[in-house]
Chain A
């Protein structure tokens, strides 16, 4: 190659590079905002991840149809972590390093969420978890937020209701999962505040198919006035069935971990009279007209049921709230800059979601209180609002 040939080659090469760079810049303006998600769409926690996934898909579509956010389209990058904390970690890594998402909304279970926390903290990416346990936001982690009520709030709400019904001595039965164990610990911790005594404390394993032995033990503990089951998945349905089989004539409380129609279907008649704290969305139509959550809950219910021909659960609602909080924060921040979005999420005030009215702060990365945590009772195979 002679000198002038080389020079020409360089010129052409530079021109090409410049063209590529220009095209890249133009493309970046069209670059979608990437919402990352890792959800338990299959596996033991599929009843959480499945409605969450559907909800995210539906609302990303809706937001895009309405012109997107900040003039950019949204793109959902979602992986199925199948209830496995190890997989959740791998997928979160991929979301951060490979897919370069702007925000993560996901983590169906506490185990999966906690496995990912160190990654998002190190990478500095806003993460809104859809899992229940208090440990996710207590102590506060800079980049981690969550939308569902905590297990401690579930205990508090249940104990409030027990106090109203003058139930003071109760039996506790819990499963072996992360949520189950965490809720059990929280209930034991806050019980004295509400003057509730836990006089029997039983456990069952994951995938157990019969809890009559444990319930018999509780039944034969003198003085038990009510039973509280901390758990989610198949366990509570079987506990409820066994509870009826043993003809235990006392109130049974479940956690918000079973707040879907699936539970009533599985437990059948035995579910009658069971009480549990849950987000308002389950009883959207029964809410009084002035309720702040009425519009958002009824709309979510309509959208979801029209699209998927499926009963709603509170879990899909948490995903709705998570996505909307992230989107609102981006709008307020006017950018997808991660640090600014994080600050905006932390400053979320008066956001009416399906789970409640959210007022976050530097010390509270969930922003919910007990007022919007409803006590429901199963009557004639349906949820009804207590009082």
Chain B
């Protein structure tokens, strides 16, 4: 029985770590522009698909992965530059609709650039399962957890210790004041999109060997990441990570102990519950005070 529980927890943590990375992407862009970027899932897809196609073209993973991440970052910056920035001054709802349009466009482009098939990526270090407490975990899951941890620490350092990071934080609190203090707000916007796109792409690459990847893989992951961000509190980094992990574990336990057919419903029931009872999310006090 405990081995069963351990298996559910390990599965939940792996999936949850990916949700956390996607949720972090939502948080960063939300902070910089108050836009909820619904194209976040497409960055996940671009990361996975680009890596697969580059790896199939014969590039070693060590080259393919950075190129894929940079590609996604470039797409993210382009999205900010050519779609979000020209619409400055438009209402947030308009901007959100623009990102929804962008996500449809990106999915369409992906089917043209690549194809509509499912693809598998080679695991980074074999696929011999490792036994832990009666449960088993793939080496790839350790990669997912390890890289997510490293990214969370890195982001903590970036926002807490570097000038650029602090400038981004300042912009999120009060864009006008930040601009008056000499922060280049437009640059912050571009940077936030580039950064979120990279995070999404990394998530997409890490998960591709486990779950396969295809042109429409971003839809569900994007929605789950959004649910995680809402659960943790929009705009909160800690919230995004905790929300992602909680959501992953809730899904896995739900599938194991309740009914596996309703796994996807769990995420959306959680969104509804949070919006009803604690609209600011678990860690989202700040944004509630700002009103």
Q: List A residues at the B interface (Cβ < 8 Å).
A: 42-43, 46-47, 176, 202-205, 207-214, 216-217, 220, 233-234, 237-238, 241, 244-247, 262, 265-270
A206: nearest residue on chain B (CB-CB)?
Answer: B264
CB of A246 within 8 A of CB of B111, answer no
Does A269 contact B261, Cβ atoms closer than 8 Å?
Answer: no
- Asked whether, in the complex, the Cβ of B256 is within 8 Å of the Cβ of A217, the reply is yes
A212 CA to B3 CA in the complex, in Å? 13
Contact, CB under 8 Å: B136 / A204: no
Q: Interface on chain B toward A: helix, strand, loop, or mixed SS?
A: helix
Determine if A216 and B8 form an interchain contact, defined as CB atoms under 8 angstroms apart. yes
Bound form: Cα–Cα A213–B14 in Å: 12
Are B260 and A203 in contact, with the CB atoms below 8 A? yes
* Cβ contacts under 8 Å, B212 to chain A: 209, 234, 237-238, 266
B93 within 8 Å of A by Cβ?
no
From the candidates B7, B111, B131, name the one contacting A42 in the complex (CB within 8 A): B111
In the bound complex, residues from chain B placing their C-beta under 8 Å from that of A247 are 129, 131, 136
Bound Cα distance from A262 to B120, whole angstroms: 10
B15 partner residues in chain A, CB cutoff 8 A: 209-210
Query: Across chains A and B, which 5 residue pairs bring their CB atoms closest together, nearest first?
Result: A209-B211, A213-B255, A213-B256, A203-B261, A216-B7
Write the nearest CB–CB distance from A241 to chain B, whole angstroms.
8
Q: Are B120 and A220 in contact (CB under 8 A)?
A: no
Q: Which of B220-273 contact A (CB under 8 A)?
A: 220, 252-253, 255-256, 259-264
What are 13 residue pairs bridging A and B, where the CB atoms are less than 8 Å apart in the complex? A46-B116, A46-B117, A176-B261, A203-B261, A205-B261, A205-B263, A212-B11, A212-B252, A213-B8, A216-B7, A246-B129, A267-B120, A270-B127
Say yes or no: B263 contacts A204, CB within 8 Å.
Answer: yes
A176: chain B residues at CB < 8 Å are 261
- Can you name 5 extra interface pairs (CB under 8 A) apart from A203-B260, A216-B7, A266-B118? A46-B117, A47-B117, A213-B263, A241-B127, A246-B129
- A246 lies within 8 A of B261 (CB): no
Q: How far is the CA of A190 from the CA of B165 in the complex (A)?
A: 64
Contact string, B1-13, partner A, CB cutoff 8 A, digits 1/0? 1011001100100
Q: Using Cβ atoms and an 8 Å threshold, which residues of chain A touch B261?
A: 176, 203-205
In the complex, what residues of B have CB within 8 A of residue A270's CB? 127
Q: Is B214 an interface residue (CB 8 A)?
A: yes
Q: Is the CB of A210 within 8 A of B11?
A: yes
A212 to B14, CA, bound (A): 11
Contact call B111/A213, Cβ cutoff below 8 A: no
> Contacts A209-B15, A245-B136 known; A204 to B260 CB distance under 8 Å?
yes
Option from A205, A216, A246, A262 in Cβ contact (under 8 Å) with B264: A205
Is the CB of B138 closer than 8 A to any CB of chain A? yes
Cβ A216 vs Cβ B256 within 8 A: yes
Contact A234–B111 (Cβ < 8 Å): no
Residues of B within 8 A of A217 (CB): 4, 256, 260
Chain A CB within 10 A, most for which of B8, B11, B220, B259: B11
> A262: which B residues are within 8 A, CB to CB?
117-118
B210 within 8 Å of A (CB atoms): yes
Contacts of B189 in A (CB 8 A): none
Contact flag A43-B7 (CB < 8 Å), given A209-B15, A238-B212, A245-B136: no
Q: Is the CB of A210 within 8 A of B260?
A: no
**Known A-B contacts A202-B260, A203-B261, A245-B138; A209 and B7 likewise in contact (beta carbons under 8 Å):** no
Q: How far is the CB of B9 from chain A (nearest CB, A)?
A: 10
- Among A238, A245, A268, the residue within 8 A (CB) of B211 is A238
Q: Which residue of A lies closest to B115 (CB)?
A: A46
For A244, what are the chain B residues with a Cβ–Cβ distance below 8 Å? 127, 129
Residues of B within 8 A of A246 (CB): 7, 129, 136
Interchain nearest-CB distance for A205 vs B (Å): 5
CA A266 – CA B220 in complex, angstroms? 20
Contacts of B252 in A (CB 8 A): 210, 212-213
CA distance A266 to B127 in the complex (A): 13
Contact of B255 among A207, A214, A234 (CB under 8 A): A214
Residues from chain B with a CB closer than 8 A to the CB of A220 are 1, 3-4
Partner of A212, one of B7, B127, B214, B264: B7
